[in-house]
Amino acid sequence: MRINISFMLNGSEVVVEVEGHHRLIDVLRDQLGLTGTKEGCGKGECGACSVLVDGRAVNACLYPALEAEGRSVTTIEGLRGPNNELSTVQQAFVDQGAIQCGFCTPGMIMSAKALLDSNPDPTEEEIRSALLGNLCRCTGYVQIVEAVRQAAVQLRDKP
Protein backbone atom coordinates (compact mmCIF):
# COMPACT_ATOMS: atom_id res chain seq x y z
CA MET A 1 0.00 0.00 0.00
CA ARG A 2 1.76 3.15 -1.23
CA ILE A 3 0.24 6.46 -0.29
CA ASN A 4 1.22 10.04 -1.03
CA ILE A 5 1.39 12.24 2.01
CA SER A 6 2.23 15.90 2.28
CA PHE A 7 3.51 17.75 5.29
CA MET A 8 5.50 20.83 6.19
CA LEU A 9 9.16 19.98 6.63
CA ASN A 10 11.40 22.69 8.04
CA GLY A 11 9.04 25.32 6.71
CA SER A 12 8.47 23.98 3.17
CA GLU A 13 5.81 21.61 1.95
CA VAL A 14 7.00 18.17 0.86
CA VAL A 15 5.12 15.35 -0.82
CA VAL A 16 6.42 11.80 -0.41
CA GLU A 17 5.17 8.36 -1.28
CA VAL A 18 5.23 6.13 1.79
CA GLU A 19 4.20 2.65 2.79
CA GLY A 20 2.14 1.70 5.83
CA HIS A 21 5.05 0.26 7.75
CA HIS A 22 7.38 3.23 7.21
CA ARG A 23 8.33 5.29 10.21
CA LEU A 24 8.96 9.03 10.12
CA ILE A 25 12.70 8.40 10.53
CA ASP A 26 12.73 6.17 7.42
CA VAL A 27 11.15 8.94 5.38
CA LEU A 28 13.47 11.63 6.71
CA ARG A 29 16.72 9.72 6.32
CA ASP A 30 16.14 7.35 3.41
CA GLN A 31 13.71 9.21 1.20
CA LEU A 32 14.49 12.83 1.91
CA GLY A 33 18.20 12.40 2.63
CA LEU A 34 18.05 14.33 5.91
CA THR A 35 20.54 12.25 7.86
CA GLY A 36 20.95 14.72 10.71
CA THR A 37 18.28 12.79 12.62
CA LYS A 38 20.00 9.69 14.04
CA GLU A 39 18.70 6.25 14.83
CA GLY A 40 20.19 4.75 17.98
CA CYS A 41 17.98 2.20 19.69
CA GLY A 42 14.91 2.30 17.44
CA LYS A 43 12.78 1.70 20.55
CA GLY A 44 12.08 5.07 22.11
CA GLU A 45 14.81 4.83 24.74
CA CYS A 46 17.67 7.03 23.55
CA GLY A 47 16.16 10.10 21.87
CA ALA A 48 18.78 10.28 19.10
CA CYS A 49 15.88 10.39 16.62
CA SER A 50 14.07 13.33 18.27
CA VAL A 51 12.33 15.73 15.90
CA LEU A 52 9.54 18.23 16.46
CA VAL A 53 6.04 17.47 15.25
CA ASP A 54 3.76 20.50 15.56
CA GLY A 55 6.34 21.96 17.93
CA ARG A 56 6.57 18.98 20.27
CA ALA A 57 9.53 16.62 20.59
CA VAL A 58 8.75 13.06 19.49
CA ASN A 59 10.80 9.97 18.69
CA ALA A 60 10.87 9.63 14.90
CA CYS A 61 11.71 5.93 15.32
CA LEU A 62 8.28 5.25 16.84
CA TYR A 63 6.27 7.70 14.75
CA PRO A 64 4.35 6.13 11.87
CA ALA A 65 5.16 8.07 8.69
CA LEU A 66 1.51 8.30 7.70
CA GLU A 67 0.76 10.27 10.87
CA ALA A 68 2.93 13.14 9.59
CA GLU A 69 0.30 13.95 6.96
CA GLY A 70 -0.77 17.58 7.29
CA ARG A 71 1.55 18.25 10.21
CA SER A 72 4.61 20.41 10.64
CA VAL A 73 7.90 18.58 11.14
CA THR A 74 11.17 20.23 12.20
CA THR A 75 14.51 18.44 12.08
CA ILE A 76 17.99 19.57 13.04
CA GLU A 77 18.51 20.69 9.41
CA GLY A 78 15.67 23.17 9.88
CA LEU A 79 17.48 25.12 12.58
CA ARG A 80 20.30 26.63 10.51
CA GLY A 81 19.96 30.15 9.19
CA PRO A 82 19.66 31.34 5.57
CA ASN A 83 23.44 31.43 5.11
CA ASN A 84 23.99 28.06 6.75
CA GLU A 85 24.92 29.67 10.06
CA LEU A 86 24.24 27.73 13.24
CA SER A 87 21.23 28.61 15.35
CA THR A 88 21.71 29.94 18.87
CA VAL A 89 21.14 26.54 20.49
CA GLN A 90 23.53 24.80 18.09
CA GLN A 91 26.26 27.41 18.65
CA ALA A 92 25.80 27.11 22.42
CA PHE A 93 26.50 23.35 22.20
CA VAL A 94 29.73 24.12 20.30
CA ASP A 95 30.75 26.88 22.72
CA GLN A 96 30.19 24.79 25.85
CA GLY A 97 31.93 21.65 24.58
CA ALA A 98 28.63 19.81 24.82
CA ILE A 99 29.52 17.61 21.84
CA GLN A 100 31.93 14.71 21.88
CA CYS A 101 31.09 11.96 19.39
CA GLY A 102 28.02 13.98 18.41
CA PHE A 103 25.61 11.13 17.90
CA CYS A 104 23.17 12.33 20.54
CA THR A 105 23.56 16.00 19.62
CA PRO A 106 20.82 16.52 17.01
CA GLY A 107 18.28 14.85 19.32
CA MET A 108 19.51 16.81 22.35
CA ILE A 109 19.23 20.06 20.42
CA MET A 110 15.69 19.31 19.25
CA SER A 111 14.61 18.56 22.82
CA ALA A 112 16.34 21.74 24.00
CA LYS A 113 14.56 23.73 21.30
CA ALA A 114 11.18 22.31 22.28
CA LEU A 115 11.90 23.36 25.86
CA LEU A 116 13.09 26.89 25.06
CA ASP A 117 10.21 27.55 22.67
CA SER A 118 7.76 26.94 25.51
CA ASN A 119 9.85 28.02 28.50
CA PRO A 120 12.42 30.78 27.80
CA ASP A 121 13.79 30.83 31.35
CA PRO A 122 14.11 27.21 32.54
CA THR A 123 15.66 26.15 35.84
CA GLU A 124 18.38 23.49 35.83
CA GLU A 125 15.77 20.97 36.95
CA GLU A 126 13.49 21.90 34.07
CA ILE A 127 16.39 21.58 31.62
CA ARG A 128 17.24 18.13 32.96
CA SER A 129 13.59 17.04 32.81
CA ALA A 130 13.30 18.21 29.22
CA LEU A 131 16.35 16.10 28.31
CA LEU A 132 15.28 12.96 30.21
CA GLY A 133 14.45 11.16 27.00
CA ASN A 134 17.87 11.85 25.47
CA LEU A 135 20.83 9.67 26.37
CA CYS A 136 24.47 10.69 25.91
CA ARG A 137 27.15 8.09 26.34
CA CYS A 138 30.03 10.59 26.17
CA THR A 139 29.64 13.93 27.91
CA GLY A 140 28.17 13.28 31.34
CA TYR A 141 25.45 15.87 30.60
CA VAL A 142 27.01 18.78 32.53
CA GLN A 143 28.13 20.70 29.45
CA ILE A 144 24.85 19.92 27.71
CA VAL A 145 22.90 21.53 30.55
CA GLU A 146 25.30 24.50 30.42
CA ALA A 147 24.75 24.82 26.66
CA VAL A 148 20.97 24.95 27.10
CA ARG A 149 21.39 27.54 29.85
CA GLN A 150 23.64 29.67 27.60
CA ALA A 151 21.15 29.39 24.73
CA ALA A 152 18.30 30.43 27.04
CA VAL A 153 20.15 33.57 28.15
CA GLN A 154 21.15 34.50 24.59
CA LEU A 155 17.66 33.93 23.19
CA ARG A 156 16.13 36.08 25.93
CA ASP A 157 18.63 38.89 25.22
CA LYS A 158 17.92 38.79 21.51
CA PRO A 159 15.79 41.71 20.34
Partner 1 sequence: MGRYNYYKPLSLDDALALHDKIPGALFIAGGTDVMVKIVNGDIEPSALISLRSIPELSGIKENGSTRIGSMTTISELIEHPKLHKRYPVLIEAARRHSGPQIRNVATIGGNLCNCSPCADTATPLLVLDAKVRLRSIEGSREIPIEEFFKGPGETCLSSSEILTDILLDPPQREARAVFMKKGRVHMDLATASVAVLLEMEKNTCRRARLAAGSVAPVPLRLSQVEELLEGNIISSELLDRAREISSETVSPITDIRATEEYRRRIVGIYVRRGIERLLKK
Ligand X SMILES: Cc1cc2nc3c(=O)[nH]c(=O)nc-3n(C[C@H](O)[C@H](O)[C@H](O)COP(=O)(O)OP(=O)(O)OC[C@H]3O[C@@H](n4cnc5c(N)ncnc54)[C@H](O)[C@@H]3O)c2cc1C
Residues that bind ligand FES (CB under 6 A): 39-42, 44-49, 59, 61, 99-104, 136-139
Neighbours of 62 (CB within 10 A): 13
In angstroms, the CA 39 to CA 100 distance is 17
Q: Which is nearer to ligand FES, 36 or 47 (CB)?
A: 47
In angstroms, the CA 49 to CA 127 distance is 19
Q: Which does 19 bind (CB under 5 to 8 A by kind): partner 1, ligand X, ligand FES, none?
A: partner 1
Residue 104 Cβ vs partner 1, minimum distance, rounded to whole Å: 13
Q: Is 56 in the site for ligand X (CB under 6 A)?
A: no
Q: Is 44 in the site for ligand X (CB under 6 A)?
A: yes
Q: Which does 40 bind (CB under 5 to 8 A by kind): ligand X, partner 1, ligand FES, none?
A: ligand FES
Please tell me whether residue 73 adopts helix, strand or coil conformation.
strand
Burial letters for 20-45: b for 16+ Cβ neighbours within 10 Å, e otherwise? Answer: eebbbbbbbbeebebebbbbbeeeee
Q: Which is nearer to ligand FES, 88 or 111 (CB)?
A: 111
Q: Is 64 in the site for ligand X (CB under 6 A)?
A: no
Of 156, 157, 87, 92, nearest to 121 by C-alpha is: 156
Q: Is 45 in the site for ligand X (CB under 6 A)?
A: yes
